[in-house]
């Protein structure tokens, strides 16, 4: 079955960077896009972007342009999301999710989430 397992919780200081990993199993990693979505405490869902592990192509929400980098390592079926210059309002649970049928279709199978806390 499709499974996405994310790295553990992180605590970072303002201005630092965080890199969250998302290891995929149960399907061919290069056949589907990986979305990244975040959720601040008590708030709604926010789409950050996606990566095509096959081509390395990315599409980022403009809000995160210049601060986020999404990559993939096909040799270990793992996607990564790095967010730089962290601020307190970047405190959130970050989810990776495989898309439904490729080509950036809606997120379908989700990871368990990674809590990133930004605090001085």
Partner 1 sequence: DIQMTQSPSSVSASVGDRVTIACRASQNIIRWLAWYQQKPGEAPKLLIYSTSSLQTGVPSRFSGSGSGTDFTLTISRLQPEDFATYYCLQAHSFPYTFGQGTKLEIK
* Residue placing its CB nearer to partner 1 in the complex, 77 or 114: 114
Site for partner 1 in 65-94 (CB under 8 A): none
Distance CA 8, CA 50 (A): 21
Nearest-approach distance from CB 19 to partner 1, in angstroms: 20
Apex CA 18: angle with CA 96 and CA 27, to 5°?
25
Nearest-approach distance from CB 73 to partner 1, in angstroms: 22
Q: CB–CB of 20/113 below 8 Å?
A: no
Distance CA 6, CA 29 (A): 15
The answer to whether 2 contacts partner 1 (rule: CB under 8 A) is: no
Stretch that binds partner 1, among 18-26, 41-49, 67-75, 79-87 (CB under 8 A): 41-49
The answer to whether 63 contacts partner 1 (rule: CB under 8 A) is: yes
Residue with tokens 């962290």: 86
The answer to whether 108 contacts partner 1 (rule: CB under 8 A) is: yes
């Amino acid at each position: 079955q499709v499974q996405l397992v994310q790295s553990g919780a992180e605590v970072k200081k303002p201005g630092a960077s965080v890199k969250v990993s998302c290891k995929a199993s149960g399907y061919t990693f290069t056949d589907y896009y990986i979305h990244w979505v975040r959720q601040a405490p008590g708030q709604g869902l926010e789409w950050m972007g996606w990566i095509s592990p096959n081509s390395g192509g990315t599409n980022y929400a403009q809000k995160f342009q210049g601060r986020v980098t999404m990559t993939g390592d096909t040799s270990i079926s793992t996607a990564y999301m790095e967010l730089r210059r962290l601020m307190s309002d970047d405190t959130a649970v970050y989810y990776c999710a495989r898309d439904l049928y490729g080509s950036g279709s809606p997120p379908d199978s989700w990871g368990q989430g990674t809590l990133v806390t930004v605090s001085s």
